[in-house]
């Protein structure tokens, strides 16, 4: 299957960014605008390596007196490289399907079709396993090299509906199948589908997040697909985020095939795994907090981890720092960044490094001129997501009016930032907040909440999540 | 089909079925219980096997922890790094063995959130030195080489059971880890069997792993227990997961479940027996009803014959009597011969009358026709009829009349009764050589007694002689003719007449004192307006 580059990117952007609804046109336009942004020049390290971009939002700051401190944001961004057609990382995937009672009818049929479609996209060197769960778990197809797809299709077709939902057990068994062929040189992924509330075994978001984190440490990511309007969106997103997988909201059974396609597309585009990022801050610069993606702050060191990096996708960490004021024209070292990762295309472990410094000036104009829009855009996006989450909490507490006001204010903030930093993502976020503000009434909330959860995941995926 | 027969039929069918059913149910219940016990034994050892597997998982986890910590410097940095790299360890810790002070994580450092959480959770353990008594071993001995070198420490926090594994690392320190609870559960779940509803030979039950509160952590097996089901076997896991347990539900372990299987086994047996018994009952019913039909046919035949005989016989008797009158006083021999013809035809008449009466009695169409008359006259007329026959048998007849007032009574019935009694005297009591007949009249009740001096009636037969067709058989009466229905008819007629026929109790215990039959009749006086109504039965 020959994929036309632009078309596929647009498709991915469309799929991930624009759900085909009324505002489809504007979204397509926004997405097209994003194309420009995504066409990044070749990275520092050249060739088939990930690109490391560490920068401050204000690399030039106003000089100041003794004892004065200023706040700044350090962004460490990693971008996956392009990969030649036909070369890709072999895959070790466990497809975990919900066959509880609520999946009766079209839902299960569509899920089976989507699963078979996903298998169709895999090759004979890939490893696949299929696990179904209701109140018990059935390892339908144990982890096996994909030599005969027909067997797999047959088994999937025979899946039938059961009763309650042992989600934790389903994920656990899926992880076990993955472990049989766990390999740092493969993409190890559990793709979990659920349409309802987990009710057998550990069933709270916190518990599933804990499991996700533990699996991520092993190199296994869990992508979650929520089907319909009855699943526990918080549980599904937290599991995905903690294990560094993807999350999707499929409103109707007919959306499943598209969603599985997107997920498979991402799985098949992994170029690096076990990405360790270490940022050492040079005193007297002091890291204050890490925004978004989980990173441990220990004294002068921030360390974070990405499970995988996708081709032509950017993920980043954001650290707020305190910089003591310096004298004009003074250069101050802020941080040293070290990244190491497994390149799954070349099967080698590689490393990157970068230094970040700040300089001081008396001139405000110089400060303004030196501002880094892309970093500031990330910060704005992050803050926007934080505020959206807060508005969601307000709505959960029943404070509808306050929630609406918060969303509208957030939309305005994001609009302004979009203009300031020339960033289309922010424009998209602004529109989403506006839409959220219109759908806070009882009838629409159940669905809107899932959409918001997904949007936040989307935004924070590049940035991480907030506990 | 009369009710009596139906009742018997139902009884024959129902009683054996009930008995067999009850016995069968008891047997089945015992069998079910025994089977359950056997199954419980098997499953208990199966659960123990799973328990051992889980224990093995824990042991392996402990081993890999120790191996991973081997050679790692006990500094915060190195340990934090190790925690990040080890997916299975939750939070590592180091304790000074002598003082019990927590060395890592230490409150001296600036702690990441996860370590802060850990300290908060486990504060009780460190401040109250709860871990140390375990370490010290039995009796709280002084910390030293005497105590155990490693162990598990289960404890509860918030949502459930947590596990700490610790060991002495030789440097005067105790090192350990609080295992990532959910990761451990996930690995336990992963190691336990899954469920394939279509696999052949699957155990048709359900096994559940429960936490301390009894909530289901994981389950496998085809059978889905209903809300009220009880597990067949329950087995708490070994240390340190003793708060968790495994339960086994047998398929159909609900209140009716085990029974259903048994019942299905029992049903064919009972069904077969029911069919057999019903078949037999029907067979016997048909046989008996056939016999009854045959008997009815015979009775009706006899009836028919008697009817046919009656008319010619009546003619013979009447013409014989006419002839007797015509002859007047001429010809003794002729008179004697005629007398025999008359007597015999009278006797035949009485016999046929008896038979017809009996038949009517069977069909319940016996009727009385009362007329105004004098009892003594009727009795007297009958006695005259019998006199010649009695004389032939050598029996002297004595008559003491005492019922001379006119009353309403059925003369034919009275004569038939007395005739039957006298005929019996002829047959059975001829050896007494005497019979005394007496009548009494007291108000509306008339009593007629017929007493003989024969051998009397044996004690055990006093009631039986009144049964139809019953003829006592003893040395004296063998060879006696007769149909055995006389007394039955006589009693029925007596009762129909508002009275009764009894065998009077013998006054003396001397055998061979004879039998005395007492006939009582209810005869309203002639002035009674209801006197002429017919009684019928």
Task: Identify whether B300 is preceded by a cis peptide bond (ω within 30 of 0).
Answer: no
Closest approach of A166 to chain B, Cα-based (Å): 8
Confidence of residue B508 (pLDDT cuts 50, 70, 90): low
What average pLDDT does range A40-46 have in this prediction? 37
Q: Give the closest residue to A465 by CA, choosing from A385, A377, A387.
A: A385
Residue A141: both structure tokens together: 């197809």
Which residues, at least 6 apart from B331, have a Cβ–Cβ distance to it below 8 Å?
none
* B268-279 exposure pattern, b = at least 16 Cβ within 10 A, e = fewer: eebeebbeebee
pLDDT of residue A278: 93
Which class for B362: exposed (0-12), middle (13-18), buried (19 or more C-beta within 10 A)? middle
pLDDT of residue B209: 93
pLDDT of residue B510: 58
Confidence of residue B477 (pLDDT cuts 50, 70, 90): low
Determine the residue of chain B that is closest to A198 in CA distance.
B217
- Whether the CA torsion B343, B344, B345, B350 is positive or negative: it is positive
SS3 readout for chain A = CCCCHHHHHHHHHHHHHCCCCCCHHHHHHHHHHHHHHHCCCCCCCCCCCCEEEEEECCCEEECCCCCCEEEEEEEEEEEECCCCCCCCCCEEEEEEEECCHHHCCHHHHHHHHHHHHHHHCCCCCCEEEEEEECCCEEEEEEEEECCCHHHHHHHHHCCCCCCCCCHHHHHHHHHHHHHHCCCCCCEEEEEEEECCCCCCCCCCHHHHHHHHHHHHHHCCEEEEEEECCCCCHHHHHHHHHHCCCCEEEECCHHHHHHHHHHHHHHHCCEEEEEEEEEEEECCCCEEEEEECCCEEEECCEEEEEEEEEEECCEEEEEEEEEEECCCCCCEEEEEEEEEEEEECCCCEEEEEEEEEEEEEECCHHHHHHHCCHHHHHHHHHHHHHHHHHHHHHHHHCCCHHHHHHHHHHHHHHHHHHHHHHCCHHHHHHHHHHHHHHHCCCHHHHHHHHHHHHHHHHHHHHHHCCCC
Minimum-distance CB partner of A137 among B194, B217, B224: B194
pLDDT of residue B132: 66
Neighboring chain A residues of B112 at a CB cutoff of 8 Å: 296-298
What average pLDDT does range A265-292 have in this prediction? 89
The tens digit of pLDDT for each residue in A393-417 reads: 999 898 889 999 999 999 999 999 9
**Mean pLDDT: which of A94-108, B69-83, B219-233, B254-268 is highest?**
A94-108
pLDDT of residue A16: 47
Q: What is the pTM (predicted TM-score) of this model?
A: 0.65
pLDDT of residue A130: 93
pLDDT of residue A172: 94
pLDDT of residue A20: 43
Neighboring chain B residues of A289 at a CB cutoff of 8 Å: none
Neighboring chain A residues of B197 at a CB cutoff of 8 Å: 138, 160
pLDDT of residue B519: 93
Determine the residue of chain B that is closest to A207 in CA distance.
B182
Closest approach of A283 to chain B, Cα-based (Å): 16
- Are residues B183 and A202, on separate chains, in Cβ contact within 8 Å? no
Confidence of residue B179 (pLDDT cuts 50, 70, 90): confident
Interface residues on A facing B, Cβ-Cβ cutoff 8 A: 131, 135-140, 158, 160, 163, 166, 168-169, 171-173, 175-176, 179, 200-202, 204, 207, 210-211, 214-218, 296-299, 303, 305, 467
Average pLDDT, chain A: 84
Query: A464 pLDDT exceeds 50?
Result: no
Confidence of residue B506 (pLDDT cuts 50, 70, 90): low
Q: Percentage of chain B surpassing pLDDT 70?
A: 87
Average pLDDT, chain B: 81
Q: Which helix (H) or strand (E) holds B78?
A: helix B76-85
Determine the residue of chain A that is closest to B196 in CA distance.
A138
The tens digit of pLDDT for each residue in A49-61 reads: 788 999 999 898 8
Closest approach of B220 to chain A, Cα-based (Å): 5
- Are residues B195 and A169, on separate chains, in Cβ contact within 8 Å? no
pLDDT of residue B182: 85
**What is residue B182's three-state secondary structure?**
helix
- Which of B253-262, B288-297, B400-409, B503-512 is least confident? B253-262
Number of CB atoms found within 10 A of residue A82's CB: 12
Minimum-distance CB partner of A138 among B185, B191, B197: B197
- Are residues A214 and B198, on separate chains, in Cβ contact within 8 Å? no
pLDDT of residue A43: 35
- Are residues B219 and A166, on separate chains, in Cβ contact within 8 Å? yes
pLDDT of residue B469: 81
Confidence of residue A191 (pLDDT cuts 50, 70, 90): very high
Interface residues on B facing A, Cβ-Cβ cutoff 8 A: 77, 80, 84-88, 110, 112-114, 159, 180-183, 185-187, 189-191, 194-198, 206, 216-221, 224
| A54, A281 Cβ separation under 8 angstroms | no
Residue B132: both structure tokens together: 């140390």
The tens digit of pLDDT for each residue in B250-294 reads: 876 544 455 666 667 677 777 888 888 888 878 887 888 888 888
Residues paired with residue A308 on neighbouring β-strands, in sequence order: A273
Confidence of residue B4 (pLDDT cuts 50, 70, 90): confident
Query: B108 pLDDT exceeds 80?
Result: no
Q: Give the closest residue to B206 by CA, choosing from A244, A136, A347, A145.
A: A136
pLDDT of residue A18: 41
Minimum-distance CB partner of A169 among B110, B114, B189: B189
Q: Give the closest residue to A100 by CA, choosing from A252, A227, A287, A244.
A: A227
The tens digit of pLDDT for each residue in A248-264 reads: 998 888 889 899 998 99
Q: Percentage of chain A surpassing pLDDT 90?
A: 30
Query: B529 pLDDT exceeds 60?
Result: no
**Mean pLDDT: which of A288-302, A431-445, B9-23 is highest?**
A431-445
| A249, A451 Cβ separation under 8 angstroms | yes
Determine the residue of chain B that is closest to A274 in CA distance.
B85
- Which of A423-432, B43-52, B481-490 is least confident? B481-490
Determine the residue of chain B that is closest to A168 in CA distance.
B186
Q: Percentage of chain A surpassing pLDDT 70?
A: 88
Calculate the alpha carbon distances from B29 to B224, B272, B417 in Å.
24, 20, 66
What average pLDDT does range A294-309 have in this prediction? 85
- Which of A56-60, B127-131, B157-161 is least confident? B127-131
ipTM above 0.85, yes or no: no
pLDDT of residue B1: 55
pLDDT of residue A29: 62
pLDDT of residue A412: 94
The tens digit of pLDDT for each residue in A315-359 reads: 888 999 999 888 888 888 999 999 999 888 888 889 999 999 998
What average pLDDT does range A155-164 have in this prediction? 87
- Are residues A136 and B219, on separate chains, in Cβ contact within 8 Å? yes
Query: B366 pLDDT exceeds 60?
Result: yes
Neighboring chain B residues of A202 at a CB cutoff of 8 Å: 182, 185, 217
Higher pLDDT: A85 or B368? It is B368
pLDDT of residue B141: 44
**What is residue B220's three-state secondary structure?**
strand
> A-B interface: how many C-beta pairs under 8 angstroms?
94
Query: B183 pLDDT exceeds 50?
Result: yes
Query: B471 pLDDT exceeds 90?
Result: no
- Which of A20-34, A109-123, B59-73 is least confident? A20-34
Q: Give the closest residue to B378 by CA, choosing from B361, B397, B354, B399.
A: B399
Confidence of residue A6 (pLDDT cuts 50, 70, 90): very low
pLDDT of residue A169: 93
pLDDT of residue A463: 42
Number of CB atoms found within 10 A of residue B189's CB: 26
pLDDT of residue B197: 76
pLDDT of residue A4: 43
Determine the residue of chain A that is closest to B184 in CA distance.
A211
Residue B22: both structure tokens together: 């009850």
């Amino acid at each position: 299957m020959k994929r036309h580059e632009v078309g596929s990117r647009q498709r991915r952007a469309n799929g991930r960014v624009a759900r085909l609804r009324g505002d489809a046109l504007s979204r397509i336009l926004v997405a097209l605008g994003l194309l420009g942004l995504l066409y990044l020049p070749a990275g520092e390290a050249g060739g088939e390596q990930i690109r490391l971009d560490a920068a401050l939002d204000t690399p030039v700051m106003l000089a100041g007196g003794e004892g004065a401190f200023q706040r700044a944001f350090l962004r460490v961004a990693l971008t996956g490289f392009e990969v030649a057609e036909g070369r890709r990382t072999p895959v070790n995937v466990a497809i975990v399907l919900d066959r509880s009672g609520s999946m009766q009818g079209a839902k299960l049929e569509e899920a089976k079709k989507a699963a078979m479609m996903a298998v169709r996209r895999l090759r004979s060197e890939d490893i696949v396993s299929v696990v179904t769960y209701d109140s018990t778990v059935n390892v339908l197809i144990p982890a096996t090299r994909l030599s005969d797809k027909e067997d797999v299709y047959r088994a999937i077709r025979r899946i039938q509906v059961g009763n309650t939902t042992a989600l934790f057990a389903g994920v656990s068994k899926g992880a076990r199948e993955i472990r049989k062929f766990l390999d740092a040189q493969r993409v190890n992924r559990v793709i979990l589908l659920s349409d309802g509330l987990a009710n057998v075994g550990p069933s709270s978001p916190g518990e599933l997040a804990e499991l996700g984190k533990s699996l991520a440490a092993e190199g296994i990511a869990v992508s979650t697909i929520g089907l319909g309007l009855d699943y526990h969106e918080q549980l599904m997103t937290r599991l995905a985020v903690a294990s560094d997988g993807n999350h999707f909201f499929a409103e109707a059974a007919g959306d499943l095939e598209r969603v599985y396609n997107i997920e498979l597309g991402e799985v098949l585009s992994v170029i690096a795994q076990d990405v360790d990022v270490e940022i050492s801050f040079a005193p007297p610069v002091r890291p204050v907090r890490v925004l978004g993606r989980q990173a441990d702050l220990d004294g002068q060191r921030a360390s974070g981890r990405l499970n995988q990096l996708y081709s032509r996708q950017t993920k980043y960490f954001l650290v707020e720092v305190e910089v003591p004021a310096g004298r004009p024209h003074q250069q101050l070292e802020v941080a040293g960044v070290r990244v190491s990762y497994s390149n799954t295309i070349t099967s080698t472990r590689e490393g990157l490094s970068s230094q970040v410094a700040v300089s001081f000036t008396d001139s405000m104009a110089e400060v303004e001129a030196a501002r880094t829009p892309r970093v500031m855009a990330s910060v704005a996006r992050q803050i926007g997501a934080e505020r959206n989450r807060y508005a969601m909490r307000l709505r959960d507490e029943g404070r509808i009016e306050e929630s609406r006001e918060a969303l509208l204010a957030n939309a305005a903030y994001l609009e302004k930032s979009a203009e300031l930093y020339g960033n289309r993502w922010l424009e998209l976020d602004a529109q989403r907040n506006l839409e959220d503000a219109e759908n806070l009434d009882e009838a629409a909330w159940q669905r809107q909440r899932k959409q918001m959860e997904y949007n936040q995941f989307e935004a924070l995926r590049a940035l991480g999540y907030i506990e | 089909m009369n009710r009596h027969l139906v009742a018997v039929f139902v009884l024959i069918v129902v009683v054996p079925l009930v008995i067999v059913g009850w016995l069968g149910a008891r047997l089945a219940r015992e069998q079910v219980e025994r089977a359950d016990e056997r199954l419980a034994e098997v499953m208990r050892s199966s659960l123990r096997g799973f328990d051992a597997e889980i224990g093995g998982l824990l042991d392996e986890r402990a081993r890999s922890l120790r191996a991973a910590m081997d050679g790692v410097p006990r500094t915060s940095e190195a340990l934090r790094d190790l925690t990040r790299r080890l997916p299975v360890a939750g939070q590592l810790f180091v304790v000074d063995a002598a003082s019990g002070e927590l060395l890592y994580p230490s409150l001296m450092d600036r702690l990441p959130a996860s370590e802060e959480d850990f300290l908060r959770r486990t504060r009780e353990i460190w401040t109250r030195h709860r871990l140390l008594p375990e370490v010290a071993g039995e009796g709280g001995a002084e910390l030293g080489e005497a105590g155990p070198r490693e162990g598990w420490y289960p404890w509860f926090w918030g949502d459930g059971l947590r596990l700490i594994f610790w060991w002495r690392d030789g440097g005067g320190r105790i090192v350990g880890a609080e295992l990532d609870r959910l990761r451990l559960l996930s690995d336990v779940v992963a190691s336990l069997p899954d469920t394939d509803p279509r696999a052949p030979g699957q155990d048709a039950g359900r096994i559940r792993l429960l936490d301390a509160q009894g909530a289901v952590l994981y389950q496998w097996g085809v059978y889905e227990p209903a809300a009220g089901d009880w597990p067949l076997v329950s087995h708490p896991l070994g240390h340190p997961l003793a708060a968790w347990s495994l339960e086994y539900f047998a398929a159909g372990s609900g209140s009716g479940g085990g029974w259903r299987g048994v019942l299905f086994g029992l049903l064919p047996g009972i069904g077969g027996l029911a069919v057999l018994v019903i078949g037999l009952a029907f067979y016997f019913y048909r046989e008996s009803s056939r016999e009854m039909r045959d008997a009815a046919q015979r009775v009706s035949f006899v009836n028919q014959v008697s009817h046919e005989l009656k008319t010619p016989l009546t003619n013979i008797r009447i013409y014989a009597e006419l002839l007797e009158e015509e002859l007047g006083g001429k010809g003794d021999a002729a008179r004697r011969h005629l007398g025999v013809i008359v007597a015999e035809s009278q006797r035949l008449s009485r016999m046929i009358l008896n038979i017809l009466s009996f038949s009517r009695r069977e069909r319940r169409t016996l009727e009385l026709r009362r007329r105004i008359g004098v009892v003594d006259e009727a009795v007297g007329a009958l006695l005259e009829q019998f006199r010649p026959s009695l004389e032939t048998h050598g029996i002297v007849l004595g008559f003491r009349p005492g019922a001379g007032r006119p009353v309403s009574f059925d003369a034919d019935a009275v004569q038939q009764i007395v005739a039957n009694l006298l005929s019996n005297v002829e047959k059975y009591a001829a050896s007494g050589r005497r019979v005394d007949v007496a009548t009494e009249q007291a108000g509306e009740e008339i009593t007629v007694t017929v007493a003989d001096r024969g051998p009397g009636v044996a004690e055990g037969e006093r009631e039986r002689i009144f049964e139809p067709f019953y003829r006592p058989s003893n040395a004296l009466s063998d060879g006696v003719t007769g149909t055995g229905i006389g007394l039955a008819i006589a009693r029925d007629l007596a009762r129909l007449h508002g009275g009764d026929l009894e065998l009077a109790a013998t006054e003396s215990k001397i055998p061979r004192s004879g039998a005395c039959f007492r006939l009582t009749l209810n005869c309203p006086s002639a002035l009674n307006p209801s006197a002429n109504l017919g009684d019928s039965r």
